[in-house]
Amino acid sequence: MKNLLKVILLVVAFATLSFVSSNKETITVVIDAGHGGHDFGANHEEHFEKDLVTSISKKIVAMNSDKNIEILFTRDDDQFLGLSERTNYINKVKPDLVISLHVNKNKNASTNGFEIYVSDQSVAYKKSSELAQKLVTGLEKNTPLQNRGVKLAPFWILKKSEVPSLVLELGFLSNENDRKYITSEDGQSKISQAIIDFIATLN
Ligand SMILES: [Zn+2]
């Protein structure tokens, strides 16, 4: 009798476990590395925005160990992609979230920090704003960069993507501290980890 009870308990335990694991949904995120090819984006001396965001995109995938998180790219090499090519891909894949990565530049070298843009013309404006707030909080906690907050902009990628989407400006190439951080191996790893940790909270 005791053994039978043990067997029943084991069966119940396994059934519960398999139910829990099959119930965990896969999160799909498209990372959109801005610019590419002949479009270099912002630059400072030998540092180019298109290369920095490609490098961080690759780090995000390499550092992701969660099998329930699927990360896709609009581009993973140095090619030019038009804006509608990006949103056509996004609307075909229909991910849970799009993060478009960029770095900033300003005439004023003291301007610094990261910021996230969302669009109030997006069908997913409410969810995008909620997620943007969560991500700026995560980046503020896990990097030394200054939080410039969540802002509105009518960017194509934000307006035309039919899913929650964010444009993340990672920092200013024109600011010495930001530049040192976003061009360093360690800084890029910390940024990537903060993004992965944020994505994991979507499930
Ligand atoms: Zn850009």
Confidence of residue 51 (pLDDT cuts 50, 70, 90): very high
What SS3 state is found at 96? coil
How far, in Å, from the CA of 171 to the mean position of ligand 1? 11
The C-alpha atoms of residue 159 and residue 136 are separated, in whole angstroms, by 20
How far, in Å, from the CA of 50 to the mean position of ligand 1? 8
Domain ranges of the chain: 26-200
Q: Taking 80 as the threshold, does the pLDDT of residue 81 lie above it?
A: yes
How far, in Å, from the CA of 127 to the mean position of ligand 1? 23
Sequence-separated (6 or more) residues with CB below 8 Å from residue 119: 125, 128, 152, 153, 154, 155, 158, 159, 165
How far, in Å, from the CA of 36 to the mean position of ligand 1? 10
The C-alpha atoms of residue 203 and residue 200 are separated, in whole angstroms, by 6
How far, in Å, from the CA of 100 to the mean position of ligand 1? 9
Cβ-count burial 68-84 (b if 16+ within 10 Å, e if not) = ebbbbbbbeeeeebeee
pLDDT digits (tens, 9 = 90+) for 94-108: 999 999 999 999 999
How far, in Å, from the CA of 10 to the mean position of ligand 1? 55
How far, in Å, from the CA of 103 to the mean position of ligand 1? 6
How far, in Å, from the CA of 169 to the mean position of ligand 1? 7
How far, in Å, from the CA of 29 to the mean position of ligand 1? 19
pLDDT digits (tens, 9 = 90+) for 56-73: 999 999 999 999 999 999
What pLDDT, on a 0 to 100 scale, did the predictor assign at position 104?
98
What pLDDT, on a 0 to 100 scale, did the predictor assign at position 11?
62
The mean per-residue pLDDT over the stretch 37-62 comes to 97
Domain 26-200 has CATH 3.40.50.300: no
pLDDT digits (tens, 9 = 90+) for 164-201: 999 999 999 999 999 999 999 999 999 999 999 999 99
